[in-house]
Structure 1
Amino acid sequence: MSNFEPNAVIRGFQLTVVGTVRALKNPDLFKHEHFRQAAIAVAVGIVIQLIIQIPIISLKFILYIISWIIDLESATWDDDLLKGLEFLSKSVLQVPFLLMTLMGHLTPTLDEIFMQSIHWVDATYAQKHKSEDPNTLRDMYYPNLEMFPAKGGPRQSRPKMEVFMIFANRYGKKIGLGLAVYFLSMVPIVGRFVMPAASFYTFKSHVGTAPAVVIFGAGLVLPKTYIIRFLHTYFASRSLMRELLEPYFRRIKFTPEQKSRWFRDREGVLFGFSFAFTVVLKTPFIGVVMYGVAEASTAYLVTKITDPPPSPAESEGFAESQVTWKNKHDFLRLPLDHIDKLNVSSQDNIEQDSVLEGKKTH
């Protein structure tokens, strides 16, 4: 559990709070097209939700009529059916959130929010340390990152239908897998083991065998709805984090294997950061508006878990150098009020490491 230790998850949550506060101080944040798109997503989501509620309400009415003829008090199938419909309804309630994710692939708005926020983080850092020796400060992120082309991003003239089909295929598989697990869990006798087994399989490769066994055991005891919510939140957090980091990975090109190792080395912090936003983004109506704030906060997160990028001409080997989070252990043990302490030049990092080690021995 070295990458998923509680301290890393807590630090990720702290970065959510600090990043959000700093993002909201940016006077240019709310000038972006994102918030008009969020309003559209809310309106479309409400319409879709009303359409979906029609067959659910109709089925409830039919069951009510049937109850006049057949005694349903002792039956359980009708309750299971209604609970299943409620589950599907609550899942579909995230339609505005899903639309915002899709818009991130079709329009450059969220990409622009990320880059503008990187610029704001740089400016804030320079202002905060303006009285210090410039040679001890870290390099800026925005100037070189802005020079990288956003390959595969919404800025390029890629057919929107092609982008939509790729998006629909990816999320269709995830939704299909989730529904398959849910319906299998309703099978008599075997069903009670489906959710715990899915939890064990999911977490074994991420947090280790022992914690996965604990989760499996809890799944046998706790109600199925708790496990469903737990798994849904976990997967939603992972998906959200990958979407929020897309503007960075569109510019800094990693191989799939490098990207996998990059995420694995930062898994605890990324989960803590994205979990907090996942909970907030599930809030009806408010969630889609906060998506832009989450993207802006991700810009702050990037400056904490990566090094400033070189220019594109000097970027060979940079991706591989970022796979391992170099100052992870120092950063995780910093007190919250010194969270910017390691945002200095490489040489000064060495000196600060010595100071930290000296404090630790005393």
Structure 2
Amino acid sequence: MSLMRYITPTLDEIFMESLKWVDTTYVDKHKAEDPSTLRAMYYPNLSMYNAGEGKVKSTAPKKSAKERIMVFLRRSGQRAALLLGVSILSLVPVVGRFATPAASFFAFKDAVGTTPAAVIFGAGFIFPKSYVVSFLHSFYASRTLMREMLDPYFSRVPFTPEQRNRWFADRQGVLFGFAFAFTIVLKTPFIGVLLYGVAQAATAYLVTKVTDPPPAPSEKEGFAETQVTWKNKHEFLRLSLDNIDQLNKAPEEEKPKAPEVPGRKFE
């Protein structure tokens, strides 16, 4: 299914239609509230961005579908080679027992922090090697899945490679948890392929929580840099599920003031 993204635009269409549905549902849910306090919509402006505009920062010629498929296969091959190398190194006497735990530590350190990664390192000496390798494989698969799921967004909003890396780094904990759950579910026989579409649709909802509504295409210059830092990260992590729609609402000072009604004058 990951390969299909480079052949057919179906997954891109699922993302955009899901984003439209999220906006519509949000408005319906809050139709009794003051419209000036609601967040801006995502779909109307993002739908006016052309898919592929997010790549404009590159001076290289646009790659064909065949070339993009080869890049995807090369990345997949590199990850497979890395896991194979760790498995082979784990067979070496003495140092082999440290190979898998060490690989797990360095893989997870940037995503979840040093302390949780140290716990995972210690767990590598307790659980069977096959479990740890499977867990490590799921981690790399989840990172790949998350980047693929977000491709419809990044293909439209023009981020530089450096901005994109910082964007992911600032949200890596939430993105890892989101993608890891779907990575496990997608391994389910028979229904895993169907759930891939569900994962793409859910990513559209995630975008509305970890980014700001995009401006009109004519005003998008500099927008990517404002999104590198997740401004409402702490608010998002503190909100309950019932209040999660409170994000991105118009602040009080931006509410339009009600016109003053002149008082009656008595002479």
> Shorter-chain-normalised TM-score: which range?
0.7 to 0.9
Q: Does 1:256 align with 2:161?
A: yes
Corresponding residue of 1:104: 5
Structure 1 contact 106–163 (Cα < 8 Å) conserved = no
String of CA shifts for 1:96-115, please: whole Å, max 9, x gaps.
xxxx0000121100000000
TM-score for the superposition, normalised by structure 1: 0.65
Q: Deviations over 1:248-272 (max 9, x none)?
A: 0001121121111111111111112
Shift of the 313–133 alpha-carbon distance from structure 1 to 2, 3 Å rule, reads same
Among all aligned residue pairs of Structure 1 and Structure 2, give the percentage whose two residues are the same amino acid.
64
Secondary structure class of the residue paired with 1:220 = coil
For residues 180-223 of structure 1, what are the alpha-carbon distances to aligned partners after superposition, in whole Å with 9 as ceiling and x for unaligned?
A: 11122122333211101111222233333333333222212321
Q: State the alpha-carbon separation in 2 of the partners of residues 338 and 215 from structure 1.
A: 33
Number of the residue aligned with 1:137 = 38
Residue identity in the other structure for 1:109: T
1:241 match: 146
Residue 278 (structure 1) aligned with residue 183 (structure 2): yes
**Partner residue of 2:215 out of 310, 314, 336:** 310
Q: Which whole-Å CA distance do the structure 2 matches of 1:350 and 1:238 have between them?
A: 38
SS at 2:245 equivalent: coil
Ranges in structure 2 where 5+ consecutive residues have no aligned partner = 55-61, 256-267
Say which SS state the counterpart of residue 246 (structure 2) adopts.
coil
- Shift of the 179–233 alpha-carbon distance from structure 1 to 2, 3 Å rule, reads same
Partners of 2:64 and 2:159 in 1: how far apart?
24
> Is 1:113–2:18 an aligned residue pair?
no
CA-atom RMSD in angstroms: 2.0
CA distance in 2, matches of 1:350, 1:337: 24
Runs of 5+ unmatched residues, structure 1:
1-99, 352-362
1:335 to 229, 240, 247: 240
Q: For 1:231, which of 111, 127, 136 is the aligned residue?
A: 136
Structure number having the greater helix percentage: 1
Is the 2:79–2:140 Cα contact (8 Å) retained in structure 1? no
For residues 53-68 of structure 1, the aligned pairs below 5 Å read: none
Contact 1:277 1:294 survives alignment (8 Å): yes
Residues 145 and 309 of structure 1 are in contact (CA less than 8 Å); yes or no, is this contact kept in structure 2?
yes
Following superposition of structure 1 onto structure 2, how do residues 84-99 of structure 1 map, counting pairs within 5 Å? none
Counterpart contact for 2:86–2:100, Cα < 8 Å: yes
Contact in 1 for aligned 2:15/2:201 (Cα 8 Å): yes
Match of 1:146 in 2: 47
Pairs aligned (count): 248
The residue that corresponds to 2:29 in the other structure is 128
Cα separation, 2, equivalents of 1:208 and 1:125: 34
Q: TM-score, normalised by structure 2?
A: 0.87
Match of 1:266 among 155, 161, 171: 171
Is the CA contact 2:142–2:176 (under 8 Å) kept in the aligned structure 1? yes
State the SS of the aligned residue for 1:307.
Answer: coil
